[in-house]
Structure formats: C-alpha cells, structure tokens
Structure 1
Amino acid sequence: MRTLLFSEIMDIPTIYKDEHLIVVNKPVDLPVHKNDFMPNDAPYLTKLIGNEYDQWVHNVHRLDSKTSGVIVLAFSKEVAHELALQFERKEVDKQYAAIVLGELPEEGVFDEKVVVKKKSKFKKNALTRYKRERLVQTNISYKEHTNVCLSLAQVFPETGRWHQIRQHFAKNRHDIVGDSHHGDFTLNKLITAEWGFRRLMLHASKLSFTHPVSGERLTFEADLPGDFDQLLQVVAAK
C-alpha cells in the first residue's frame, strides 16, 4: 500500500514547482509556519511541504492561517531572500477575493493606518484597493440591520500589514464574513447557525512575481473555493 503524501492528507494542491521554489493553494485554517501557541505535533505548511519533499522550506510572505489561496515558498535562503525583497519593494502583485457585509461601492480604496500586530497600538500606513464583483440581497436581519446585502469583492493590497485587508474592511463597516477577530460576530454566528459556514471568507486568488533565478515574470491563480459561491446562493433573498 502506498503511503499518502502530506499534501494529499492535508489537500494542498501544488500549482507550480521547480528546484528553487514551490507555489501551492494553501487550505483554510492551516498556519504557514510554527508559532509558540501551537502544540509540537501540530501541522503547518512549511513543515508539511518540507517533509513531503525531504528538504528545508522557507516561507517568504504572510498569509493568515484562516486565509486560503496562493502562496509561494522557497527551497533555499537565497531564493527566499530575493523573493522577500520583491515583496518589500512592492514588485509583487497580489489579488484576493472576499465576501463582505453591506453594499460595497463598485470600486474604491482604503488608505488608512492599521495596527501592525495583535494587541499593539502602533499603526502604520496601509493601502488596499477593491472592486465589487457581485452584490447579493439577503433575508438576514439582526440588530439595526434589515435584509442585509453581501458583496463579493476583488481586493488588491498594495502594502502587506498584519491583517491589513481584514482591518480595512472592518474599519469601514464592511466586515469580512467569518472574521472572528475584527468582524461582525453576530452576523458570523447567524450564518454558522443557519447554514453551517464557519470559515473566513477571504482567499488569495492571484499572485505575480519575478522568478529570482530565471528572471521570468510568473503569475499563478487559485480558483475561488466552492463555499464562497455556496454561501452567496443560500443567503440570497428568494
């Protein structure tokens, strides 16, 4: 009997791989790297990929554990460093999909400071652009909200602060559905109780960068998870 690979156990689709780097579609609720609050045997992305290919794997950029989607990892310190510099120099194009509360304008930009880490009061400038892709009227009513709308948005962060997208949308009263840290907790509970959706509706859908060795400009995409469309279908007012 063949031993299952870690990526098969955790369902980590590989989008691209060469001897220098790997691009995968990270599952929701999987941390990228180990932190002090995790048990020793807890799974995390760099560990699973490293075990599968029997080599050290370096994370290059941030992707919250609760966010699914495209992420690039490096197989050497040198490649990781070059990729990290591209992120710092804002040479990487990032695109996300999010389901948010309310009728989001057709397009816009959030240009506001956000806190740099959990439980910190220190803030830095951050810039997030967005475009509304779909608007759904629902039968959901609670507190002062009646028949709320949900918007599916394409999001383009131009900086890379901690929880930047989540903070920006929450600060502007367009909380991301399923955000248990910054979002609308009552809405989240209603959606979970009625339809069973628990995840953060934020997905890294597209990533473009220059290959540190070949110099080729590469673009990778991860399809929108099925539960995004399922949520918008079941909540739609009939």
Structure 2
Amino acid sequence: MPTILYRDEHLVAVHKPCDLLVHRSPIDRHETRFALQLVRDLTGRRVFPVHRLDKPTSGVLLFAFTVESARSLAQAFAAGEVHKRYLAVVRGIAPQSGTIDHPLVEEIDAMDYPQAEEKDAQSAVTDYRRLAEIELAVAVGRYPTSRYSLVLAEPRTGRRHQLRRHLRHLGHPIIGDTTHGEGRHNRYFRDALDCRRLLLAAIDISFSHPCSGEKLTVSAPLQENFMALIDHFGWSDALPPAAIG
C-alpha cells in the first residue's frame, strides 16, 4: 500500500512499494491493484499521474489533484526541471563517478503494440556515483569471488527504463533486473540472500511547486526489503539521509 509523504491542495507525493503498477497497462493485463486507484482511495480525491515508476521500482511518486497542476508538473518533467535521485545495487565495482551519455531507442513490446513503429534513438544522460562496494567469497559467475556496488544515480532525462539500460551499458547491471540484468546474480540474491526484488529505488525528487513556485524536495526511505540487503552488506553508513527516513 502506498504511504503519503507530502500533501497539499494541489498535489500528493507517495511512497510506491515495489511490484505495484502506477496505472492499468497492457504490460500486465492480469494486475488488479494500481497506485492510481490506491492513492485515490487513500486521499478521497481524483488524482492525475504526472510521471511514472516502473512496477518493480519503489520510491517517490507524484500525483496532481487538478488538471492544471498535472499539466504544469508534466511540463516540468518534460523540460528536465525536475531533479530525481535513485539508489541501485549493481553487479561489479562501478567507477567512482561519471556520466553516462548514451542515446536510447524507445523500448516497444511487440506483443502489446504490434503496429508501433521503431523511433530514432533519443538523448539520454545519467550522472552516477559509487557510494559503497563489497566483495563476497562466492563464485556466482566464472570468478572465485563476486563483487557488488551501491550506486547513486541522477538521470537528467526520463527515457523508459533509462537507469536499468544505462547501468547495463556501463557494464554494471542492476541486481534483480530480469530484462537487462544477469540471471546468475539475480538467482544468487534471490536464493542465498532472500532478496526477490529489483534493487532500484527513487529516494527523492525536487521540483518547483506548480502554483506557488516554491522549491520542494520530497524524500522516501528505502523499503524494508531493500534496507535489509543494505544492512546485510554493511552499507548503512554510506546511505544518503533521504534513504534512511
């Protein structure tokens, strides 16, 4: 169930748990629970989505209460005026910091959109920084040990699956990503560490209020099933304050 992080007369920000779709989608025709519906029930008001988080991603999700606020926020997202930060656990020791500037072609599911035409690649940019790393004496792949990193990622653009695809392009796929990740490492986290989710979370979002223009930052602590892995690896001290709550 989503929990409210911030609310006023114009908008509401909630903490979306992993494995919850934002709204009805052909991606999962059998799903019956959606963040849009649950937030409407939680607030007792009609809400309008202004951006999205993938089903397996947890963290801050914004909705507007009015068409005007929804339009203003959507325009801010499109103009790159909204700043988002994510935490991810990735395979390998990621570089200390850097920028991934790698255009992405829009991903289209042929089963759901058989008539959709492939579009040209669009600009996609992500800044990142490694916060912590660990080497385990476990041979998950071809090496006698396995290494993982905690990464803070800040997308400058908002392409579909941008962080998942960019970190894969960097050679450090996100753990739990069944589309762009690696099955051996996903299985190790699931079977040995009891971690059965995509290790990607939107920890905060900063934007200008659609009516007052005031700068707002809304933060969401890591979900328990993510935090348990962080504690297991001894990475708690490396977390940004926004992720702790």
- TM-score normalised over the length of structure 2: 0.86
CA–CA separation in structure 2 for the residues paired with 1:169 and 1:177? 11
Instruction: Kindly provide the CA deviation profile for residues 199-224 of structure 1, in whole angstroms up to 9, marking residues without a partner as x.
Output: 00000001000111111110011112
Partner of 1:49: 39
> 1:107 maps to which residue?
97
Q: Does 1:189 align with 2:223?
A: no
C-alpha distance 202-86 of structure 1, shift in aligned 2 (>3 A): same
AA aligned opposite 2:218: F
Task: Give the fraction of aligned pairs with identical amino acids, expressed as a percent.
Answer: 36
TM superposition shift of 1:136? 1.0
Residue 127 (structure 1) aligned to one of 125, 128, 138: 125
**Structure 2, gaps ≥5 residues long:** 110-117, 235-245
- Match for residue 5 of structure 1? none
**CA displacement at 1:40 relative to structure 2:** 7.2
1:171 deviation in Å?
1.6
Is 1:64 aligned with 2:64?
A: no
* More divergent stretch after superposition (220-229 vs 148-157): 220-229
CA deviation string 1:121-178 (max 9, x = no partner)? 7422200010111111112313323312110011100000000000011122201000
* Residues 158 and 53 of structure 1, relative CA distance in 2, 3 Å threshold: same
CA distance in 2, matches of 1:111, 1:204: 20
Alignment correspondent of 1:21: 11
Structure 1 Cα separation of the partners of residues 31 and 228 of structure 2: 33
Structure 2 counterparts to residues 124-203 of structure 1, below 5 A = 124-203=122-201
Change (3 A) 1:13 1:53: closer
Q: Match of 1:170, as an amino acid?
A: R
Counterpart contact for 2:17–2:223, Cα < 8 Å = no
User: Unpaired runs of 5+ in structure 1?
Assistant: 1-9
For 1:145 and 1:58, locate their aligned partners in 2 and report how far apart those are by CA, in whole Å. 48
Tell me how far apart the structure 1 counterparts of residues 73 and 124 of structure 2 sit (CA, whole Å).
21
Residue 114 of structure 1 aligns to a residue whose secondary structure is coil
2:67 to 73, 77, 93: 77
Return the offset for 1:232: 4.4
Give the partner amino acid of 1:168: H
The correspondence of residues 28-47 of structure 1 with structure 2, limited to 5 A, is 28-39=18-29, 42-47=32-37
1:221 to 204, 219, 222: 219
Distance 2:20 2:205 in 1: 19
User: 1:14, 1:25 within 8 Å by CA — same for their partners in 2?
Assistant: yes
Distance in 1 between the 2:108 and 2:147 partners?
29
